[in-house]
Chain A
Amino acid sequence: MENQFKPKIIVFCCNWCAYAGGDLAGISRYQIKPYFRVIRTMCSARVDPEWIMEAFRLGADGIMVAGCHPGDCHYIGGNYRTRRRIALLRSLLKQFGLNPHRLGLAWISAGDAEKFANTMNSFIDCIVELGPSPYAKPAQSNQHTDTAKEVLDA
């Protein structure tokens, strides 16, 4: 157990639904694996694709964007934009060499604590199975050598 991979996961939660859902999951004492950090944004559409890439650059193994259910956005249509951006970003990240499953997208309402817990647990399981992000390695050693990359490319 000691050597098990502990991923770093960033969760962007929208203020109105997913964050409240996560809050409720805590109050309701659902068991969630402790490998994620939540960042609250006003809307899931506020999550700039840049932020996601910056998080991967800094060594995140997985990133989850969570917002209101389609149709329930506090700002009427924000989550439709999120949905499109994430879809396009997934195909971009795939070209960058990352598994597109590392970028999760979930719709969680304020009352759905159980869904928050289940979504997070299965996302964490998925990332543990995928292993560390290829971009996480250069960040740890800071000075990545040619040989380190050769191994990754092999």
Chain B
Amino acid sequence: MPEKIKIALAQGATCSGCDIAILDLDVELLKLFEVADLTFAPLAADIKFKDVEAMADGEITICLYHGAVRNSENEYVAKLLRKKSKIMVAYGACAAFGGIPGLANVTTKNKILDTVYDETATTVNPEHTRPQTHFITPQGHDLELPELFEDVKTLDEVVDVDYIIGACPPTREMNVKLLQIVLDFVNGKAPLPPKGIILASERTLCDECPRQKPEKVFIDEIKSIDYTELDPEKCFLEQGILCFGPATRAGCDSKCINVNMPCRGCMGPTAAVLDHGGSMLSALASILKVSSVETELPEEDIEKLMEKMRDPLGTLYRFTLPKSLLKRVIKESKDEK
């Protein structure tokens, strides 16, 4: 039997849901550990950075990095593991597109610190203390904290990435496929796929959605999912629920759709699109239904119609703000007129 390969599970700004998703391989994990050793996985094993630093370059065969790059420690881990790994995978929506942590790009580092250390109701901080990245205690201990970045970045902005896997988190089926790719590679049965997005379809989710699709979809009113009784057979958009199917890449086996939840876009856009939100915006604008004849509506009424959509930025870029064209909110210095 050939020597075991080494794998690493690195964490950035993550909820660790991706770690759990890998554990969800359950019995399949045994197949993985037949061929691989877990060398670095802060959630599962006690391995220090210095152990990784001591490894030779390229010693780790495959590294799954999950989470966005949010602070200097995330960046250090990303760069270190890039150097030590042959294959670097941006695993999950946060590493691939910024994910939920990426929504921090609507504000700034200082405003986040203000909120956390001053403005919340339960905070008492009369001296307006902020965490310092470097501190020497009176006893002489040298303490360091990572530096929070101004922007949330995706993994491929920081290091060269071989494969990108979307979804929040990647599904069990995707992980089984990924495992098969690794096994085939280790056993020399199949070469690695070309660089880029893997384990996903080239089409949108609507293409594989099992629900009945009407010829033409119209939304009378955008409804909140909390207060709406949903028909599990009918298209979500037809029922007035925002579903990101028209703009989102397929490949997740319609997991959410099958449990009567609309798509929120964690697989990111298809390859033909630069900007996930822009693509969805385009689709949405066309399907809102107008009460009277569209030709007779003045511009103001159209604006009112479009205002039915609350928080377009947060909704359209829920998982992809750092990977969007504008990347972050930059306020104009002049006051709005």
B274 touches A50 (CB 8 A): yes
Q: Tell me, rounded to whole Å, the shortest Cβ–Cβ distance linking A150 to chain B.
A: 7
Interface membership of B325, Cβ < 8 A: yes
A57 CA to B333 CA in the complex, in Å?
A: 17
A83 CA to B290 CA in the complex, in Å?
A: 13
Interface membership of A38, Cβ < 8 A: no
* Interface residue count on the B side (C-beta < 8 Å): 44
B332 touches A134 (CB 8 A): yes
B307 touches A91 (CB 8 A): yes
Q: With contacts A57-B326, A87-B305, A95-B311 known, is A153 near B288, CB below 8 A?
A: no
Q: With contacts A97-B331, A150-B110 known, is A53 near B324, CB below 8 A?
A: yes
Q: Tell me, rounded to whole Å, the shortest Cβ–Cβ distance linking A152 to chain B.
A: 6
A99 CA to B282 CA in the complex, in Å?
A: 20
A83 CA to B285 CA in the complex, in Å?
A: 9
Which of A53, A83, A84, A89 counts the most B-chain CB atoms under 10 A from its CB? A84
* Interface residue count on the A side (C-beta < 8 Å): 42
Q: Tell me, rounded to whole Å, the shortest Cβ–Cβ distance linking B310 to chain A.
A: 9
B330 touches A81 (CB 8 A): no
Shortest Cβ distance from A85 into B: residue: B285
A130 CA to B333 CA in the complex, in Å?
A: 10
Mark B295-337 against chain A: 1 for CB-CB distance below 8 A, else 0. 1000100110111010111101000000011110111111011
A97 touches B324 (CB 8 A): no
A27 CA to B294 CA in the complex, in Å?
A: 35
A134 touches B333 (CB 8 A): yes
B312 touches A92 (CB 8 A): yes
A92 touches B277 (CB 8 A): yes
Q: List 24 A-B contacts (CB under 8 A).
A: A48-B278, A48-B282, A49-B278, A50-B278, A50-B282, A53-B275, A53-B326, A57-B326, A80-B295, A85-B286, A87-B285, A87-B306, A89-B281, A91-B306, A91-B307, A92-B313, A130-B332, A134-B330, A134-B331, A134-B332, A146-B150, A149-B330, A150-B108, A153-B331
User: Residues of B with Cβ closer than 8 Å to A?
Assistant: 106, 108-111, 150, 273-275, 277-279, 281-282, 284-286, 288, 294-295, 299, 302-303, 305-307, 309, 311-314, 316, 324-327, 329-334, 336-337
The 10 tightest CB contacts between A and B, nearest first, are A95-B313, A84-B285, A49-B278, A50-B278, A87-B306, A97-B331, A53-B325, A134-B330, A88-B306, A92-B312
